[in-house]
């Protein structure tokens, strides 16, 4: 069977179920395809001659040219006959957007498709949102209501289209970049195991975020994840008895116990996120920072309270705040006012300037006792200039992992996003920043075992 390349790099696409009615799934997908895709687009609708200035065809069999992939949006009852035509046309793969299969206990309908497709065509779906990557938008979500993420280096795979769309919308707003997004739904053919294997070899992807409800191939999942060098963060749903029952009604698959999955993730070297917040907090830092070689970090802040909160979070996360070397401590005392705190956590106090940060960070990053830095910059103080963004950006030259905490409203958020454009992860709370850098230590330990 061909690999998944055709899904992400097609030269031609047929949309079966293209609609002339704005608001319909078949119209929205065609509209998004036309705006994003540079290859050939073939709308399939036997009742239309033309949609959005594109010539329509009654069937994929009426198209003389080869077709790489087809997107199917017709009713569940009609999918079988469409799939037969796609196989006859020798299309490489299909994305079945249509629902009405095992997720509503119509398992036989789904099994029929599986038997037909085996050895002949690849399938993503059914019951999916679609694929989104550079130059390819097969989603049926409107641009007015759903902000597409910018191009980046995090791949996101989601068993749930709804979860995928909501998180994608959020990270699009927050400015997090995506290399690929795949909603794979009921996983009739292509599942999370094959997607992980593909993305682990993808040069555009530096971290993989995964929302998982269930897997039918646990041992294979562990085997594939173990050999992948790309960090994987997984949010597992269905951890309670009620949640497990909800998974069964959602995708028609059993979820398994939380303990089994957590054990499997540890065995596979997968970092488990406990919340939707953590899923991309962790993926963001793993995609942009080197690993933390040991658990020794420094915290620098311009607000004492935030230094305390960060320290508590660090200790809870298994991190240490060692004393600086004698040379570093002496150097800090020379450049800081007498009322500043030079012990780790280092408090530059509420009259800190960008220059004070720059000199302090240089000393701390060069200290042999420190392997990573959490920098808290509260921009509300009047002495801290916008040049702090340049100061923090330049910290990349030291080659040590670091994260930034900027807590505040619109003014702060705008500057945090500027910083993230340079590949520096920024978090709105000290606890989230510390958890992120702790993840770099956790992944460093995982790599030692791989």
433 shares its domain with 340: yes
309 shares its domain with 362: yes
299 shares its domain with 188: no
As a whole number of angstroms, the distance between CA 72 and CA 78 comes to: 10
Is 231 a domain residue?
yes
243 shares its domain with 340: no
pLDDT on residue 239: 61
Is 133 a domain residue?
no
435 shares its domain with 295: yes
pLDDT on residue 173: 87
User: Which residues in 141-186 belong to E strands, given as ranges?
Assistant: 151-158, 178-183
Is 141 a domain residue?
no
117 shares its domain with 158: no
151 shares its domain with 124: no
As a whole number of angstroms, the distance between CA 182 and CA 193 comes to: 13
CATH code assigned at 35: 3.40.50.720
Task: For residue range 383-421, list pLDDT tens digits in order.
Answer: 999 999 999 999 999 999 999 999 999 999 999 999 999
Task: For residue range 354-370, list pLDDT tens digits in order.
Answer: 999 999 999 999 999 99
349 shares its domain with 387: yes
Domains in the chain, number: 3
CATH code assigned at 272: 3.40.50.261
Residue 168 near residue 156 (C-beta atoms within 8 A):
yes
Is 138 a domain residue?
no
Please tell me what DSSP assigns to residue 133.
E
Domain that holds residue 442: 290-449
Is 135 a domain residue?
no
Nearest CA-CA partner of 190 in 135, 117, 244 = 117
Task: For residue range 391-400, list pLDDT tens digits in order.
Answer: 999 999 999 9
Please tell me what DSSP assigns to residue 348.
-
pLDDT on residue 3: 77
273 shares its domain with 370: no
As a whole number of angstroms, the distance between CA 415 and CA 410 comes to: 9
Is 92 a domain residue?
yes
* Sign of the Cα pseudo-torsion (180, 184, 187, 192, in order): positive
- Give the helix/strand (H/E) hosting 412: helix 410-420
Is 198 a domain residue?
yes
Q: 240, 268, 288 — which closes off a domain?
A: 288
Is 17 a domain residue?
yes
As a whole number of angstroms, the distance between CA 264 and CA 72 comes to: 34
pLDDT on residue 2: 56
Report the phi/psi class of residue 110: left, alpha or beta, with left for phi > 0 and alpha for psi in -120 to 50: alpha
Task: For residue range 47-102, list pLDDT tens digits in order.
Answer: 999 999 999 999 999 999 999 999 999 999 999 999 999 999 999 999 999 999 98
230 shares its domain with 124: no
423 shares its domain with 410: yes
Q: 288, 312, 331 — which closes off a domain?
A: 288
Q: Where does the pLDDT of residue 152 fall: very low under 50, low under 70, confident under 90, or very high at 90 and above?
A: very high
Q: 234, 268, 288 — which closes off a domain?
A: 288
* Sign of the Cα pseudo-torsion (256, 258, 263, 265, in order): positive
Residue 179 near residue 202 (C-beta atoms within 8 A):
yes
The pLDDT > 70 percentage for the chain reads 96
Please tell me what DSSP assigns to residue 61.
G
Task: For residue range 212-269, list pLDDT tens digits in order.
Answer: 998 999 999 999 999 999 999 999 987 655 544 444 444 444 445 778 888 899 999 9
- Burial string for 406-439 (b: 16+ CB within 10 Å, else e) reads bbeeeebbebbebbbeebbbbbebbbbbbbbbbb
73 shares its domain with 84: yes
């Amino acid at each position: 069977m061909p690999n998944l390349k055709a899904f992400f790099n097609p030269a031609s696409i047929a949309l079966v179920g293209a609609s002339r009615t704005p608001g319909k799934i078949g119209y929205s997908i065609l509209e998004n395809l036309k705006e994003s895709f540079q290859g050939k687009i073939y709308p399939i609708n036997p009742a239309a001659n033309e949609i959005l200035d594109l010539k329509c065809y009654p069937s994929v069999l009426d198209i003389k040219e080869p077709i790489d992939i087809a997107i199917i949006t017709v009713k569940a009852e009609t999918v079988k006959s469409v799939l037969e035509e796609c196989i006859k046309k020798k299309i490489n793969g299909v994305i079945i957007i249509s629902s009405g299969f095992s997720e509503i206990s119509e398992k036989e309908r789904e099994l029929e498709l599986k038997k037909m497709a085996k050895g002949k065509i690849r399938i993503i779906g059914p019951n999916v949102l679609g694929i989104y990557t550079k130059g390819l938008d097969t989603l049926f979500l409107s641009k007015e209501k759903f902000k597409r993420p910018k191009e980046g280096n995090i791949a996101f795979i989601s068993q749930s289209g709804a979860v995928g769309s909501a998180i994608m919308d959020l990270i699009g707003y927050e400015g997090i970049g995506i290399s690929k997004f795949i909603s794979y739904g009921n996983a009739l053919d292509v599942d999370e195991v094959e997607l992980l294997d593909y993305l682990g070899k993808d040069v555009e992807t530096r971290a993989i975020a995964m929302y998982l409800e269930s897997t039918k191939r646990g041992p294979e999942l562990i085997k594939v994840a173990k050999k992948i060098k790309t960090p994987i963060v997984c949010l597992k749903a269905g951890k309670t008895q009620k949640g497990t029952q909800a998974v069964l009604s959602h995708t028609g698959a059993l979820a398994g116990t939380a303990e089994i999955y957590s054990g499997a993730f540890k065995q596979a070297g997968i970092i488990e996120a406990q919340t939707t917040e953590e899923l991309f907090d962790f993926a963001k830092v793993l995609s942009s920072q080197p690993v933390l070689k040991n658990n020794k970090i420094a915290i620098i802040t311009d607000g004492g309270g935030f230094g305390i909160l960060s320290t508590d979070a660090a200790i809870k996360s298994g991190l240490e705040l060692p004393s600086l070397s004698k040379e570093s401590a002496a150097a800090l005392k020379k450049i800081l006012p007498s009322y500043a705190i030079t012990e780790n956590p280092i408090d530059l106090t509420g009259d800190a300037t960008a220059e004070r940060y720059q000199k302090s960070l240089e000393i701390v990053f060069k200290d042999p006792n420190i392997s990573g830095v959490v920098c808290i910059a509260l921009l509300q103080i009047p002495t801290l200039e916008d040049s702090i963004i340049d100061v923090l950006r330049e910290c990349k030259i030291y080659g040590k992992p670091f994260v930034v905490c900027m807590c505040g409203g619109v003014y702060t958020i705008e500057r945090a996003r500027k910083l993230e454009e340079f590949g520096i992860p920024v978090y709105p709370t000290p606890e989230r920043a510390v958890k992120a850098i702790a993840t770099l230590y956790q992944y460093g330990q995982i790599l030692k075992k791989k």
